[in-house]
Amino acid sequence: MADKQPFYLTTAIPYVNGVPHLGHAYEAILTDVMARFKRLDGYDVMFLTGSDEYGEKNAKKAEEQGITPQAIADENTAAFQEAIQLMGISNDDFIRTTEARHHKAAQEMWRRLNEKGLIYLDKYAGWYSVREESFFAEGELREDESGQKFTELGTEVEWVEEESYFFKLSEFTAPLLELYSTNPEFVQPSVRLNEIKAFVAQEGGLRDLSISRHKNRLEWGVPVPNDEDHVMYVWLDALTNYITGLGFPDMDDARFKKFWPCDYHVIGKDITRFHAIYWPAFLIAADIPLPKTIFAHGFINVNGAKMSKSVGNVLSPEELVKTYGQEPLRYLLMREVSHGQDGNFSHEHAVQRINSDLANGVGNLAQRTLSMIYKNCEGAIPAPNALNEKDKALLETAHNALYKGISDPDIVNQFKFNEVLMIIMNFVGECDRYVDEQAPWTLKKEDPERMKTVLYVLAEAIRCIAISMQFVTPGAAGKILDQLKVSDDERSFAHISVEYALKSGTSMDKPEGVFPRIVIEEAA
């Protein structure tokens, strides 16, 4: 058997100064869905996520609470790890930036840049955002009536003057513009690439980047090699996690050789600049190949408003899973948010979508078909007799058009999973129309042999639907396949084929529903 093609993707590593929310859930599920899809499509997948634990916000929070920054990091990282399990995320590794392996990788990256003469010590004076952990030029800020300055994201800045090591980012203006020009897929969607190009091409080009903090200001960080007075700061440290997880600095590590360069870094649109400017500059400087694509997804608003603690509309993964169930939540987020765009979440629409597509759609189709087979075909897959044109057309769609549609690279490689799910749901609708037209409940009395053919065709269509839905609802789809007695080694996309069709006479267990209907409780 030929070796599987490697496929490597990552989430951003969330900063653990708080607890996970709907935005974290969306990014983790989006990345997981791609990982599962590629596994089903025959790829050897490496999927990395983790936690960003250093930085000023955690240090200040720990000081306020009278505990160590490590204690804060341990507590909050545990919450993110629990959320990952709660959402059914299939990551292969979880990197913490406080781990020894990451210190080793980040310090090696520093050494490489330093050996190239790209790091220097100087004094910095400028506007700084603690929340965004970045310095900003005057032209990047706005000011309110009181004179307080803010970033584009609305976070306050303060004037800071301190000694810092700098990376000569200014030397990479031309190389980065060349990268964007020759590789337009480097940043997706294209609107994000255009934003990055405009920023890099602005008058004066890029400014050198502060990459350390003096211990008089911040002690919580990866120690700078050969300077005990400084710690590495945020982006050089955090971004390096993507290669730490592959064994860097050992570039002969089997994982590094197999999976780098990364296929996708999946990130929020608010951190595109750091991933599309800083990260490729660091890698070019360190003589490390560049990732293939930075995919910047949008935000999820709640009832049309941006999530905010002050508004009180921040939703946690735990609350969402408790309300809707793990897999209905996964389906909902993938079905409702378009390619790279912002999405909107509302409880009423969530219930409507889940009930329509899952409970009344896939779930009802599977339950009523398999129940009829179990009751009327001696609990076994029936044998089809002469297939008519409608039977053949439905099976043709199941065996050929369905997989061709959902695996279209123009859809999948742009994370357009809402379109993938629309293709599947359109086929579910086609199956429903076939059921209504053929009326197997009537055929039971008038033509039992024809009923068996209709039920076989439907069961085979359901097999293909269940295989195709494993990337987003693996548990429920797996239960349908279990009920059809499909073996574990015949559940990849390659098995959506006539040669793996259901075998007549295969005994079935009593069918059980997999997508319960959500009922909105009326207020008393």
Q: What is the pLDDT of residues 333-347, one digit of tens each?
A: 999 887 778 888 888
Q: Which residues in the chain come in under a pLDDT of 50? A: 1, 307, 310-311, 522-524
CA within 13 Å, CB half, 508: 29
Residue partners of 152: CB distance under 8 A and separation at least 6: 140, 142
349-500: CATH topology is Isoleucyl-tRNA Synthetase; Domain 1 (1.10.730)
What pLDDT digit, counting tens, does each position of 326-382 carry?
Answer: 999 999 999 988 777 888 888 888 999 999 999 999 999 999 999 999 999 999 999
- Exposed / middle / buried, residue 177 (Cβ in 10 Å: 0-12, 13-18, 19+): middle
∠ CA 183-91-103, nearest 5°, is 80
What are the pLDDT digits (tens) for 390-427? Answer: 999 999 999 999 999 999 999 999 999 999 999 999 99
With H, G, I as helix, E, B as strand and everything else as coil, classify residue 47. strand
pTM: 0.92
Measure the CA angle with vertex 513, ends 507 and 519; round to 5°.
175
Domain spans in the chain, listed from the N-terminal domain onward: 349-500
